[in-house]
Amino acid sequence: MLNKNVSDLLNEQINKELYSAYLYLEMNNYFDKRGLDGFANWYMIQAQEERDHAMLIYKYMQNNDCPIVLGAIAKPDKVFNSDMDVLRAGLEHEEYVTASIHTIYDAAYNVKDFRTMQFLDWFVKEQGEEETNARDMITKMELFGSDARSLYMLNQELAARTYSSPSLTLD
């Protein structure tokens, strides 16, 4: 059984990951309405990843005989007035999730819960990649977004993204 504080934080993280999926679906919807199917694809895959992250934590808790308490998932509260608003909100959200993962890691460290720390190592690495991807999208949009042809090419690049489930062994 995990430490209660660590278990509570992991429970909260499940909800945060599912909220992230909702937020990315909202971003997908924004770009779909704009006719930018590549950007829409990018955020649909982001939503799939977030659902999988929630399920990884869920299964980890089950495997460690921890009670799971599912909370209500809030409706995304972001309003997007431009493509850049969406991209910046994506980076801001990834930074929020990174801080949340670090909080859980710190709680596990404080009680010498090495198994949870090892489990979270994957999430720490993943969050670094997510923040880099979000920053790269902002940079590309700043460079190319005002030119229709360049935006088309960027959209095509994002349309080529495919989804693959995380290959994390749970114990």
Q: How many CA atoms lie within 13 A of 152 on its CB side?
A: 3
Query: Residue 45 above 70 pLDDT?
Result: yes
Q: Compute the average pLDDT of residues 75-93.
A: 95
Is pLDDT at 152 greater than 90 in this prediction? yes
pTM: 0.92
What does the pLDDT average to over 136-159?
93
What is the reported pLDDT for 166? 73
- CATH code for the domain of 143: 1.20.1260.10
Backbone angles phi, psi at 132, to 5 degrees: -60, -45
Burial status of residue 50 (CB atoms within 10 A of its CB: 0-12, 13-18, 19 or more): buried
Q: What is the pLDDT of residue 146?
A: 85
**With 70 as the cut, is the pLDDT of residue 167 above it?**
no
pLDDT on residue 78:
87
Q: What is the full DSSP assignment across 34-97?
A: HT-HHHHHHHHHHHHHHHHHHHHHHHHHHHTT----PPPPPPP----SSHHHHHHHHHHHHHHH
Please name the residues in contact with 59: beta carbons below 8 A apart, sequence gap of 6 or more: 170
Q: What is the mean pLDDT of residues 79-97?
A: 97
SS3 at position 169: coil
Rounded-to-integer distance, Cα 75 and Cα 82, Å: 20
Residue with tokens 């979270």: 120
Predicted local confidence at residue 165, as pLDDT: 78
Look at the chain and report how many structural domains it folds into: 1
On whether residue 151 sits in a domain, the answer given is yes
Please check the confidence at residue 164 and state whether its pLDDT lies above 90: no
pLDDT category at 54 given cuts 50, 70, 90 is very high
In this predicted structure, what is the pLDDT of residue 145?
83
Residue 25's domain spans which residues? 4-159
Per residue in 119-134, pLDDT (tens digit) is 999 999 999 999 999 9
Residue 165 falls inside a structural domain: no
For residue 168, is it within any domain? no
Give the model's pLDDT for residue 170.
52
